[in-house]
Amino acid sequence: MASISEQFEVSGKMKTWSMGLMGVGILAFIIGFITKGLSSDEHQQAIFWGTLLYNSIFFLLICNASMFFICVTTLAHGGWQVTFRRVPEAISAVVPIFGLIAIFILFFIVFGLNHGDHNLIYHWRIPGDDQIILKKTGFLNPPFFVIWTLLSIGLWSYLGMRMRKLSEESDQAEMNQEQGNKWIHRNTVIGSLFLVWFGLTVGSTTPWLWLMSIDTHWYSTMYSWYTFASSFVAGMALIALFIIYLKNRGYLEYTNDEHLHDIGKFMFAFSIFWTYLWFSQYMLIWYSNQPEETTYFQPRTKDGVWKGVYYLNLVINFLCPLLILMTKNSKRNYTVVAFMAVLIIFGHWMDFNQMVMASVSRDHVTFGWLDFGIAALFVGMMIFFVGKALSRVPLIPKNHPFLKESIIHHT
Amino acid sequence: MALKRYVVGCFDDEEVLFPAVKKVRNAGYKIQDVYTPFPVHGLDHALGMRETSLHTAGFIYGILGTTTALAGMGWVFTKDWPMNIGGKPNFPLPAFIPIVFELTVLFAAVGMVMTFCYLCQLAPFVRKHHFHPRATDDLFVMAIECTDRTNVEDLKGFLQSAGAKEVSYQVAESGWWFGRYDVEPKLYREENPVIG
């Protein structure tokens, strides 16, 4: 198997698309900045920064979900993902770049959007004499926000980089059994460090800090898991899309519908998991009916203006995957999986939209050109940087000890 | 129930079994079934079996469970005995969802198990002919049904050339009957003529 060598090259078409999307995105950003960002209306400014906020965090988290996937499969000693492992690796290589963008946007919101006695997005920034917020300032304060944000993104980037370095190291020489064991062990150590940190950040604190704190009075312990489920299922869909793209271009010879089937199972299962969290969060609050808890659902359900987006979300992210991805044949069909992957990414992007924007703008639905424009900017950047990362190393880790297991994988 | 004639070939290796299945099918013989000690991936495809409809049945049972739960609770709490529970509406959908979910799972699971037992004719005291007791241990047992035109000796030779370790000719009940293995021990004392 030493002869395996697949080198990806960024095609002209891919470059044109990424540049085009980025161009559209930058245009939307500039127009948005002039018409909304510089507007004297505080509401418009909040919409502009809120849009940037949820887009940057959504794309950061779905790219980071790729590294989560690699670490989980590494720790479980899973072998089936090895033939396409370089794809999630390449996607996770975007984390430092998107992380920097998110850091800039988050810090600008915390420090640059204070208008007199209030912050446009994070109300906890200037609590005034609000007793409920004052009790939360131990967690919600600028120094902690800054340190935790830097630590989160920094460690995701650093540990992700270590995992990718290890993977590239394996390309240099064939390993015997002992070296292979050692190499897997080193992977396991870094993978578990990443997972512990991932659990402390994406699994709990970071979504509370970045997203949930917009509704400062409200709290839900389900929120972080909900965010994680959203980003993980969209992350799996993203991996599926890149694999299908590479297959269409004639790469990834050893990845076949058996692997696609398993990715499809992930997309199916975690869509259900997302729905479970969606419902649990909703039902407990609906049942107890406490004023400080129901505030989150006021703009989103019943008489709220965001009702349409909120329930459309449930149709796209639950009903469609449930009914379309249920059968074995649809999970093995490239067209169906590609379609569902696009739908799932769109659905969870919309989920992030309503998570942030319905709190920033409770009385008006803001879904419009700016959302799509900024999303185009991030998608364009993602295609550009992932393409670059893919072309940097061979597409198949030819010396990975589990490669054979992956090639003969059978579901 | 009818007695049928079978030629039975026993293989001790998967690697031999798969080409043998292919050869036997290509030669036009009708394989009744292959009994294996453990699930063998891809054997159903090799045997040319139709994909099971068990999952479709499961889906239908699930839907049935969903409607049963919704209709049952809906009728009880709106028509039969409306109650005010915590000021919630009489048909509080979110509160019903967990039960709807549970009943969906219960109906689908129990229904599929029972359908599976029915399809495989599994029930207490139901007995079927065992072609070889070692099919539950370490042998892959292929049973080929003989027709009027089947030359038994030819078929035995053919199976041996395909790699069968033991070949036998058996006349056996094709269906099932009531009985108990502990009071009908004949099965295990049955000595089949072994060639080769």
Q: Is A403 helix (H, G, I), strand (E, B) or coil?
A: helix
Q: Which residues of A touch B98 (CB under 8 A)?
A: 283
**What tokens were used for A235?**
């992350």
Q: Identify whether the C-beta of residue B180 lies closer than 8 Å to the C-beta of residue B163.
A: no
CATH pick for B3-50+124-189 out of 1.10.287, 1.10.10, 3.30.70, 3.90.198: 3.30.70
Domains in chain A: boundaries: 12-407
Q: CB distance from A323 to chain B under 8 Å?
A: no
Cα separation values, A308 from A280, A300, A354, Å: 20, 8, 10
Q: Which residues of A touch B95 (CB under 8 A)?
A: 283, 287
d(CA A218, CA A212): 8
Query: CA-nearest residue of chain A to B54?
Result: A327
Q: CB distance from B60 to chain A under 8 Å?
A: no
Q: Which residues of A touch B58 (CB under 8 A)?
A: none
> Do residue B97 and residue A279 have CB atoms under 8 angstroms apart?
yes
> Do residue B95 and residue A287 have CB atoms under 8 angstroms apart?
yes
Q: CB distance from B94 to chain A under 8 Å?
A: yes
Q: Identify whether the C-beta of residue A354 lies closer than 8 Å to the C-beta of residue A300.
A: yes
> Do residue A283 and residue B97 have CB atoms under 8 angstroms apart?
yes
Query: CA-nearest residue of chain A to B89?
Result: A287
d(CA B190, CA B132): 10
> Do residue A282 and residue B86 have CB atoms under 8 angstroms apart?
no
Q: CB distance from B124 to chain A under 8 Å?
A: no
The pLDDT of residue A268 is: 96
Residues in chain A: 411
d(CA B136, CA B132): 8
The pLDDT of residue B144 is: 92
Q: CB distance from A287 to chain B under 8 Å?
A: yes
The pLDDT of residue A116 is: 82
Q: What is the pLDDT of residues B26-54, one digit of tens each?
A: 988 889 899 999 998 888 888 988 888 89
- Residues of chain B within CATH 3.30.70 domain(s) are 3-50+124-189
Select from B42, B86, B94 the Cβ nearest to the Cβ of A282: B94
Select from A286, A328, A410 the Cβ nearest to the Cβ of B94: A286
Q: CB distance from A189 to chain B under 8 Å?
A: no
Select from A283, A326, A410 the Cβ nearest to the Cβ of B94: A283
Buried b (16+ CB within 10 A) or exposed e, A66-100: bbbbbbbbbeeebbbbbbbbbbbbbbbbbbbbbbe
- pLDDT means per 10 residues, chain A with 411 residues, are 68 93 96 91 92 96 96 94 94 96 95 88 89 90 95 96 93 89 94 96 93 91 93 96 93 91 95 95 91 90 90 94 92 95 96 93 90 96 95 90 90 76
Q: CB distance from B95 to chain A under 8 Å?
A: yes
Residue B181 pLDDT exceeds 90: no
| B186 — pLDDT class (breaks 50, 70, 90) | low
Q: Which residues of B touch A282 (CB under 8 A)?
A: 94
- ipTM for the predicted complex comes to 0.79
Q: What is the pLDDT of residues B126-157, one digit of tens each?
A: 888 888 888 888 899 999 998 888 888 899 99
Helix H or strand E segment including A49: helix A42-75
